Chain A
Amino acid sequence: MTTPTLQAPADSGTERPARLRHELRAVHALVYRDLLRLAGQRTHTALMLLHPVLYLLVLGGGLAALIPSTSLGVGYQTYLFPGMLMMTVQMPAITVGMRLIADRQSGYLRELLMAPVSRSTLLLGSCVGGTLVATAQGAVLLSLAGAVGLPYDPPLLVLLLAGMILASFTVTALALALAVSLRSAETFHMVLGLVMMPLLFLSGAFFPLATMPGWARALADANPLAYGVDLLRRCIALLVPDQAAVGGIEWAGRQLPLLLEAALLLTGGAMALLWAAHRFNRPE
């Protein structure tokens, strides 16, 4: 990320390393805060994990008997797994946006803004913190891989973890971009309530995108969650070919290269973060 240095005034060359170290310490402060909160709120964290686990074991278990694995390429629970990983990382990522608004309302944000660091650094710190916390929660769900018929294969787990970091980053950045442009927590909740369900249904988490009508597929093509789910599913297919599911994001009838998909997520997240930093930097 080049954001912190972008905002730095033209210091003399000797001061730049000190300055950069200072900004990094501020990023660390915010990440530390997020990790402390994660450690302090075990009940909250467990409750956040409950939802995807229920979907995976109850909904997935129930529908697995009805949906023949021939139509999906894999058993339904295996099909559902990447979507539930995505769902797990998305919730803490969005919480970061909510906390920015809560901090603004409680006055804590002013304490952060008083710090002699650039505002972009503060936003970057929040983003890194959110990404880490989201990935940590995703890693917990990853331990259920065996329950849905995936092997506990280190390369697979590492690859899925990397995919989740990327997806978490993108969702966190988008949540922050939304949070800096909204003033009230109510509006933030309303917007999320309005878009989260459709985004999830249009992500291919529950059923293949190919089975949806054309207009819905067009919407899915613009859905960041769909790219996240598809990325995780393709990671599984890459390392466990016999568990390759059908359907997913297709441009002009062709699957995107895995790396391009990852690059799209990264770019989307970076753009959202830059825009958020731009909004956040506006003097008041």
Chain B
Amino acid sequence: MSRQLRAGDDRPTRAALIADPNAAPHPPEPAYAIRTRGLVKSYPGPAGSAIHAVRDLDLEVRQGETFAFLGPNGAGKSTTIALLCALARPTAGHARVAGADVVTQPHEVRRQVGMLFQHSALDPDLTADQNLHIHARLYGLRRRHARERAAEVLEMVGLTDRRRSPVRTLSGGMRRRLEIARGMLHSPRVLFLDEPTTGLDPHARAQVWEHLRALRDRNGSTLFVTTHYLEEAENCDRIAIIDRGRLVAQGTPAALKAAIGDDRVALRTSDNVTAQQVVRRIAPSDQAITVDADGVCLRAPDGSAWIPRLCAALEGHGIAVHAASATPPTLDDVFFHHTGRSIHATAPGRTPADTNPSETTAKGEGGR
């Protein structure tokens, strides 16, 4: 039944292409791996109120794309994944994943998706091989096929030599890779990864991403990754930013950054105060020009192109420029722009200017 439905989904697109050859210049309707409309999940809260974990979510993830779902802890990322995997029922709205409806065809959805949970879900007492075999059988693979696939995916994540080791003897990074292998065992069309690198050291994190990229290149799998690491989101094809259950932005990293605007140009000069007045005369008039520790700062589109012009003008006024830089907006700027907060209120190496303790501590997603 489900097979027919999926074929049916393809038909309008194909029919349209055949019927109208002039439509060729138009790219065909992009095939969505995930598409949600008005997705809502709420839990009964204290005193008859409702806690909205996910509100009115419209997501579009194209096939073969690596999609980052970015948000601070407790934003609703895990709940959204639970909804998309048909582990939880949405309170309202629709979602289609890998061509199947999460409410009416949960089995079909789960057959087509793989899942990497936020917390390790391996049986620590069994070996890598045994964990994989159990998973393969749960997904209905024949015994021989299960063994072949297990060997393949172990090879893929570079764990072939540890296949007979009990999982409890593997390092955190190896477990993560084993879970990626397990997630790919039944060749899913969409692989969900819920914070795949949380708790790993930088080396293991890099390795996990290396394997994920190889996976996408080799199998063309769609990857749906939740993360609160901005630099990881940066490398994905597209990003959605979620905050307090609401989608605040969706697009490519470049587009999101471009949308909020301009590069930050900083000039360290011999006389910052005079320089500020000189710069004000030639810079776009609507931008504020400030003086801070970096020197004279302004925001301008295509900032690096401004640097020679500014330098020339300043030198014409006898002001020496010691250093100049143009920094494009970061995803944190994007997040700040949309939410008024920094995503990493307490992350190391970032200014804890916008600390909001309630957001960073409790992982209040009852996403079960």
Which residues of A line the B interface, CB within 8 A? 9, 11-12, 15, 21-22, 25-26, 28-30, 32-33, 36-37, 40-41, 106-108, 110-117, 283-284
- Docked Cα-Cα span, A41 to B166, in Å, equals 12
Interface residues on B, range: 20 to 34
- Bound Cα distance A30, B110 (Å): 18
Task: Fill in one digit per residue for B127-140: 1 if any A CB lies within 8 Å of its CB, else 0.
Answer: 00010011101111
Min CB gap A1→B, angstroms: 18
Please tell me if the beta carbons of B368 and A33 are within 8 angstroms of each other in the complex: no
Q: Are B110 and A114 in contact (CB under 8 A)?
A: yes
Q: Nearest A residue to B113 by beta-carbon distance?
A: A114
Residues of B bordering A, CB below 8 Å = 1, 85, 87-89, 107-108, 110-111, 115, 117, 119-123, 125-126, 130, 133-135, 137-141, 368
**Given A11-B1, A37-B125, are A107 and B120 also a contact pair (CB < 8 Å)?**
yes
Partner of B117, one of A21, A22, A107: A107
- Cα distance, A33 to B124, chains bound together (Å): 12
How many Å lie between the Cα of A284 and that of B86 in the bound state?
10
CB distance from A33 to the nearest CB of B (A): 5
Of A26, A29, A40, A284, the residue contacting B88 (CB under 8 A) is A284
Neighbour of B130 across the interface among A9, A12, A30, A36, CB < 8 A: A36
Q: Which residues of chain B are near A22, meaning CB under 8 Å? A: 140
Q: Are A26 and B137 in contact (CB-based, < 8 A)? A: yes
B87 contacts A32, CB within 8 Å?
no
Contact partner of B85 (CB less than 8 A), chosen from A25, A26, A114, is A114
Residues of chain A contacted by B368 (CB below 8 angstroms): 110, 284
- Closest A residue to B87 by beta carbon equals A113
Residues on the A chain within 8 Å of B138, using CB = 25-26, 29, 112, 115, 117
B88 in contact with A106 (CB, 8 Å): no
Q: Which residues of B contact A111 (CB under 8 A)?
A: 115, 117, 121-122, 135
Query: Mind listing 8 A-B residue pairs with CB under 8 Å?
Result: A110-B87, A111-B121, A111-B135, A116-B107, A116-B111, A116-B139, A117-B107, A283-B88
Chain B residue at minimum C-beta to C-beta distance from A33: B134
Q: If A11-B1, A25-B140, A32-B134 touch, does A114 touch B125 (CB 8 Å cutoff)?
A: no
